[in-house]
Each structure stands twice: as structure tokens, then as C-alpha cells.
Amino acid sequence: MAIGTCKLCFKEKDLKKSHAIANSIFKRILRPANGKAILLSNGDEKIAYTSDSWAEEQLCGECEGLLSRKYEKYSLEVLRGRRGTIINHPTSDYYQNVQVKELILFFLSIYWRGAHSSHKSYHALNISFSNNMLLREAILNNTNVLLSKYAVRVYKLIDSTGSANDFESKVFKNFIASPYVKNPSVLHSRVTICFAFEGFYIEIIEGGVKFKERSTIGALNANEESMRIKHICLFDIPQLVEIMGKSLDKQRAGHTLIK
């Protein structure tokens, strides 16, 4: 335990080990592999099982409790099909009777915590001073974030090619892809932060979406109690294919610790 300033409430307190990606996600994928998850990254590291859940002391006990009770627990129950009603369609799933605002704040809190983390798995994430203040207020006070500031899209990952081999199938269910940033150009007023876990692929559009785009872009709407999660083929997401391809190359070259 270390004393320091909590990054959420700014109070001087004992800080707890904080997980940007919820510890319960790590636990769930760690369990079937004897406490070890498959981590995919773009770096040169060997593919390895890990029991490192990317934790770091950032928040006080109260704030940590708020995030896990208020956002993580509820959102993971929804995503795991234990809350609300899910109607499955061929190309999407329709979730009813769910508090979409809590899910949005859950995904934004992953990004927010990741951006504050010095763990190497989150090195791609940065946040500006003003956006930090905006997200802090929203997470702490459970308020909406304007779609013109941040928009969140969620997809379910599928393999529509049917070509996944054994290694890929194993990876599909058990991987957490370290967050990366799409189109990180200084000329671009928008950047998209992407990450994946438990078979879902999440995009956070920093810079938000314009009013005209809102009905077409598929962003979650905090004022609604339903959401549509489209299916997306993992092989249609170049960055995930690249991460997976590098992993496959490493696997083929024997640069792996996984049997």
C-alpha cells in the first residue's frame, strides 16, 4: 500500500492496486489456463501466458470501489448475458432493458485508467488535461459524456471466414489485445482508441461524432435503455489481424512459451 493522491477524487489517501481492464476479466480468462492468459501485443516479446493483470496503484479504496461496483460489475453482467434481454440477429445482437450510460462510463473508465497507467500494455494511451478533467467528472459523478466529446462503439468479434486454426480459436476466446490508437494524426481532430476482451471489440472515438453522423455511426446512446452490438469479423480489423499475425508468426517460429 502506498500513500498518494488519488487520480479520481484528488484526495491524499492510501492507494489500492487499480486495474484499467477489470481484474474479473483477467480472472475469467486466467482460470481455464491455470491462472494464465494469452496476451497479444505488437511488440517483439515472446507470446506468453501471463499472470500479470496490468495493475498499478492509482486510486483510493473508495474510488476503486465506486468503479468496480458502479460500472464494472454491472457492465460485465450485461456483456455476459446475465442482465437485460438479448435478442440475437444474424449480424447483430440487440440488448434491451440495459442502462447504456453505465456501459459507456465503464468503457471510458478503462481508457481513462489506462491513459494514467505507466504499465507497458497501456503505453499507446494518452489523455489531454481538459479531457482528463471531463472524464474524471463524469466517472466520479455518474454523468453523461456528450457524444460530441466521446463516442463509444462496441462490436462482437466473430470469425466469418471459418478459417481459424486451433491456435487462433484458442486465442479468440482467451485474449486481451493491448489498447492501440487508430489514425493518431496531429492533423486529425479525432482519434480512435481500440481494445478487445472477452470476444468484444471496443472503439472510443475521442473528438466525438457530429450530430449528422449519430444515427449512422452506431455509437451507444447514454439516454437509451437498449443498444445494438454489431458483429464484426476479427479478420476485417487490420490491427487485430496484424497483432494476431505477428503472434502466429512467432508461434510458427517457435518464439513462444505456449504449447
**Which residues in this chain contact Zn ion in the complex, by CB under 5 A?**
6, 8-9, 60, 63
d(CA 59, CA 62): 8
Alpha-carbon distances of 178 from 125, 139, 194, rounded to whole Å = 10, 22, 9
8 Å CB contact between 54 and 20: yes
d(CA 207, CA 197): 23
Burial 185-203 (b: 16+ CB within 10 A, else e): eeeeeebbbbbbbbeebbb
d(CA 33, CA 113): 26
d(CA 9, CA 24): 23
Nearer to Zn ion, 79 or 135 (CB): 135
Nearer to Zn ion, 6 or 139 (CB): 6
Nearer to Zn ion, 38 or 66 (CB): 66
Nearer to Zn ion, 67 or 98 (CB): 67
User: Least separation, in Å, of the C-beta of 179 and Zn ion?
Assistant: 23
User: Least separation, in Å, of the C-beta of 68 and Zn ion?
Assistant: 13
User: Least separation, in Å, of the C-beta of 232 and Zn ion?
Assistant: 36
- Give the strand order in the sheet containing 2-5: 2-5, 12-19, 55-60
> Which of 199, 191, 250 has its CA nearest to residue 42?
250
Nearer to Zn ion, 9 or 124 (CB): 9
Residue 80: φ, ψ to 5°: -90, 5
Nearer to Zn ion, 87 or 133 (CB): 133
User: Least separation, in Å, of the C-beta of 6 and Zn ion?
Assistant: 3
